[in-house]
């Protein structure tokens, strides 16, 4: 009789594990669908990068606009990189001149590398990027 109880216990454990796995898969599917809808509506996903700000319109939609003060920091970092400074040196210079990261922290080499990355600007809707905001040679650095 004890052997039968162990057998049922294993079956119940297996059933609960299968249901948990099914729920994880359904959650992943719902998340992908929700993100797809946001992308179709051109909504900003994640943190708005340095140089831009997300604003809420009267209709409740959100859009990305250029923050000229922050864009100066991005442009300066790219110009410093073109002049040959290392990521650490750029971070030191940005901190020394009182420029803060998007979240108000200090500059680390990894944070600097993110704004120097070519793909950085791809995260922003084209209409939000000012034509003369960043020198072209700085983007490909």
102 part of a folded domain: yes
- For the chain, the domain total comes to 1
Distance CA 96, CA 1 (A): 76
Q: Residue 63: in which H helix or E strand, if any?
A: strand 62-66
3 part of a folded domain: no
Q: Residue 54: in which H helix or E strand, if any?
A: strand 52-56
Q: Does residue 104 sit in helix, strand or coil?
A: coil
The range of the structural domain enclosing residue 61 comes to 52-139
pLDDT (0 to 100) of residue 62: 74
- % of residues, the chain, pLDDT over 90: 33
Q: Using alpha carbons only, give the angle 69, 96, 65 rounded to the nearest 5 degrees.
A: 15
More confident residue, 109 or 58: 109
| Average pLDDT of the residues in 118-137 | 51
Q: Over the Cα atoms of the chain, what is R_g?
A: 24
104 part of a folded domain: yes
pLDDT (0 to 100) of residue 19: 95
| Average pLDDT of the residues in 108-128 | 72
Please say whether the dihedral angle defined by the alpha carbons of residues 114, 119, 124 and 128, taken in this order, is positive or negative. Answer: positive
More confident residue, 126 or 37: 37
Q: Give the closest residue to 98 by CA, choosing from 130, 132, 73, 80.
A: 73
Instruction: Please write the tens of the pLDDT for every residue from 15-61.
Output: 899 999 999 999 999 999 998 887 777 666 777 888 888 888 787 77
Residue 43: burial class (beta carbons within 10 Å; 0-12, 13-18, 19+):
middle
Of 5-9, 45-49, 80-84, 107-111, the range with the lowest mean pLDDT is: 5-9
41 part of a folded domain: no
Instruction: Please write the tens of the pLDDT for every residue from 75-88.
Output: 899 899 989 999 99
pLDDT above 60: residue 3: no
| Average pLDDT of the residues in 107-122 | 81
Which tokens go with 132?
């003369």
22 part of a folded domain: no
Q: Does residue 107 sit in helix, strand or coil?
A: coil
6 part of a folded domain: no
The answer to whether residues 48 and 102 touch, using CB atoms and an 8 Å cutoff, is: yes
Name the residue with tokens 């793909």.
119
17 part of a folded domain: no
């Amino acid at each position: 009789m004890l052997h039968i109880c162990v057998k049922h216990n294993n079956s119940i454990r297996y059933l609960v594990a299968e249901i948990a796995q099914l729920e994880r898969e359904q959650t992943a599917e719902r998340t992908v669908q929700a993100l797809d809808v946001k992308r179709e509506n051109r909504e900003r996903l994640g943190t708005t990068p340095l140089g831009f700000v997300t604003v809420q319109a009267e209709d409740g939609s959100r859009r990305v606009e250029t923050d000229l003060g922050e864009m100066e920091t991005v442009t300066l970092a790219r110009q410093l990189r073109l002049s040959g400074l290392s990521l650490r040196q750029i971070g030191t210079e940005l901190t020394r001149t009182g420029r803060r990261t998007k979240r108000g922290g200090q500059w680390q080499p990894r944070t600097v590398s993110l704004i120097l990355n070519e793909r950085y600007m791809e995260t922003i809707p084209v209409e939000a990027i000012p034509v003369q905001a960043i020198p072209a040679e700085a983007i490909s650095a």
